[in-house]
């Protein structure tokens, strides 16, 4: 028997409470049974998003939400700015280009965060940018972009929308949609929300809704105007992913019981312990600044293949973490501390990394990282 541990940056572990809530008999999405279910999910998402804006619920992966964030608010030829510091930054560019937008990129070296001044300069000298796209947490590099500062800059350009992919950051980072002024923020079910994949969430500000009226890009499935109209009567435009929305209510309940501040504190503490533990082993973080609280990207020592670390963790110890993507492939492996994770998930991860690296010939004193994590995780009683 090899007991299994899921420590990947999505899908993440789904608590049994959530899994079982989804095993209840199915209800019909147009029947009165469903109204309170969607009503509760809608309000719960507004709580999590810290917003009074609509938070749309879509039957798709997170990427569907990203597509909707483009095809509902822009027009062919619109100039937009994409902050591209990883695989998911690149995805914004590809989506915008697929719909004929003119993309200008700020290329950020992988492992680094965008300098807000650069965004400021680009917006200043380059009037007429209709939207700025960024990731909150760039999953491929383990970096968190400074959404608060970026929002404050973009706010000065009245006509420019600020669009944040928070698919992997939601729940792990304190993202203040309304206070900061995020126009469109995309989330997904299989990350911090501890659900199976299959739903995307998108918050939309009034400023964005005003822009929506002028958008002429082809749309049918991701038609946000219709989703908004349906949401107002606790429906979705097309058949609702009923079971996942029932599970969503269960996971939102768990997060509410913990309290939003505590949820963020827990993610910060687990991430911090992970980072310091791997550094104590002599490993280097791939994120050179502003590391994400969702996932830690770790550089493998010279001569060791990151993909092999990932494979050995899985095969020998039952731990499903993640390798590197695209140009980071082979150079890194990644450990998520996102969603349904607590102290001993970190202990498991660090212990597993130590054993695997030692077996691969890396000089390590077993328990070194674990001890550091223990110290940090016991030090406080607040999580």
Nearer to a copy of itself by Cβ, of 33 and 156: the residue is 33
Task: Quote the least distance from Cβ 80 to a copy of itself, whole Å.
Answer: 15
Q: Closest approach of Cβ 375 to a copy of itself, in Å? A: 30
Q: Strand runs (DSSP E) across the chain, as ranges?
A: 5-6, 54-59, 79-84, 102-107, 131-135, 137-138, 143-144, 161-165, 184-188, 199-204, 284-285, 295-299, 319-320, 332-336
Select from 77, 158, 213, 218 the one that contacts a copy of itself (CB under 8 A): 218
Helix (H, G, I), strand (E, B) or coil at 127: coil
Size of the site for a copy of itself (CB under 8 A): 55
326: which DSSP letter?
A: G
**Contact letters for a copy of itself, residues 11-50 (x by CB under 8 A):** xxxx-x--xx-xxxxxxxx-xxx-----------------
Q: Are 228 and 211 in contact (CB under 8 A)?
A: no
Minimum CB distance to a copy of itself, residue 242 (Å) = 6
Give every CB contact of residue 295 below 8 A, 6+ residues apart in sequence: 9, 137, 139, 142, 168, 322, 334, 335, 336, 337, 338
Nearer CB in complex with a copy of itself: 198/301: 198
Q: Which is nearer to a copy of itself, 233 or 363 (CB)?
A: 233
Least distance (Å) between residue 237 CB and a copy of itself = 8
| Residue 260 in contact with a copy of itself, rule: CB under 8 A | no
Q: Between 63 and 279, name the residue whose CB sits nearer to a copy of itself.
A: 63
Contact flag: residue 242 with a copy of itself (CB under 8 A): yes
**Candidate list 6, 108, 147, 370; residue touching a copy of itself; CB under 8 A:** 6
Pairwise CA distance, residues 101 & 209, whole Å: 19
Question: Binding residue for a copy of itself (CB under 8 A) from 53, 71, 168, 287?
Answer: 71
Orientation angle between helical segments 368-378 and 343-359, nearest 10 degrees: 170
| 298 preceded by a cis bond (ω within 30 of 0) | no
List all residues 6 or more positions away from 383 whose beta carbon is below 8 Å from its beta carbon: 262, 265, 266, 269, 342, 343
238 touching a copy of itself, by CB under 8 A: yes
Among 100, 259, 282, 361, interactor with a copy of itself by CB under 8 A = 100
Asked whether position 344 contacts a copy of itself by CB under 8 A, the answer is no
Furthest C-alpha separation in the chain: 62
Q: How far is CA 354 from the centre of its chain?
A: 27
Q: Which position among 48, 95, 283, 348 is part of the footprint of a copy of itself (CB under 8 A)?
A: 95
Q: Is 303 an interacting residue with respect to a copy of itself (CB under 8 A)?
A: no
Which span (53-61, 78-86, 157-165, 177-185) binds a copy of itself, by CB under 8 A?
53-61
Examine residue 314 and tell whether it contacts a copy of itself (CB under 8 A). Answer: yes
* Residue 246 CA: distances (Å) to CA of 78, 173, 201, 212, 305: 38, 24, 15, 30, 41
Measured CA to CA, the distance from residue 273 to residue 139 in angstroms comes to 18
**By CB under 8 A, is residue 222 in contact with a copy of itself?**
yes
The backbone torsions φ and ψ at residue 332, rounded to the nearest 5 degrees and listed phi first, read -135, 165
* Residue 164 near residue 147, CB atoms below 8 Å: yes
Question: Site residues (CB under 8 A) for a copy of itself?
Answer: 4, 6, 8, 10-14, 16, 19-20, 22-29, 31-33, 59-64, 67, 71, 94-95, 98-100, 188, 190, 196-198, 217-222, 238-244, 314, 320
């Amino acid at each position: 028997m090899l007991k299994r541990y899921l420590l990947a940056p999505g899908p993440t572990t789904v608590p049994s409470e959530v899994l079982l809530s989804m095993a209840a008999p199915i209800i019909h999405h147009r029947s009165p049974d469903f109204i309170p279910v969607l009503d509760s999910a809608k309000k719960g998402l507004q709580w999590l998003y810290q917003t009074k804006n609509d938070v749309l619920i879509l039957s798709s992966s997170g990427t569907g939400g990203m597509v909707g964030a483009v095809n509902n608010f822009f027009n062919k030829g619109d100039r937009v700015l994409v902050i591209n510091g990883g695989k998911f930054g690149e995805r914004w560019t590809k989506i915008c280009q697929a719909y004929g937008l003119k993309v200008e990129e700020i290329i950020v070296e992988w492992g680094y965060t965008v300098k807000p001044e650069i965004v400021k300069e680009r917006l200043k000298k380059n009037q007429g940018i209709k939207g700025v796209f960024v990731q909150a947490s760039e999953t491929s590099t383990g970096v968190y972009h400074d959404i608060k500062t970026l929002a404050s800059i973009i706010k000065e350009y009245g006509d420019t929308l600020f669009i944040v992919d928070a698919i992997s950051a939601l729940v792990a980072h304190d993202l203040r949609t309304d206070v900061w002024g995020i126009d469109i923020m995309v989330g997904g079910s299989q990350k911090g929300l501890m659900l199976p994949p299959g739903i995307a969430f998108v918050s939309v500000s009034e400023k964005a809704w005003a822009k929506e009226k002028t958008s002429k890009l082809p749309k049918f499935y991701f038609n946000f105007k219709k989703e908004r109209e349906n949401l107002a009567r606790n429906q979705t435009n097309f058949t609702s992913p009923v079971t996942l929305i029932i599970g969503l209510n269960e996971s939102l309940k768990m997060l509410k019981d913990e309290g939003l501040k505590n949820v963020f504190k827990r993610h910060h503490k687990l991430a911090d312990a992970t980072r310091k533990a791997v550094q104590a082993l002599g490993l280097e973080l791939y994120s050179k600044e502003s590391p994400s609280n969702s996932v830690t990207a770790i550089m493998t020592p010279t001569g060791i293949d990151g993909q092999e670390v990932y494979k050995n963790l899985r095969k020998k110890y039952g731990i499903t973490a993640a390798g590197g993507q695209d140009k980071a492939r082979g150079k890194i492996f990644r450990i998520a501390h996102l969603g349904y994770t607590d102290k001993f998930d970190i202990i498991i991860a660090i212990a597993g990394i130590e054993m695997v690296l030692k077996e691969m010939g890396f000089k390590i004193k077993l328990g070194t990282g674990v001890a550091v994590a223990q110290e940090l995780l016991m030090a406080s009683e607040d999580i």
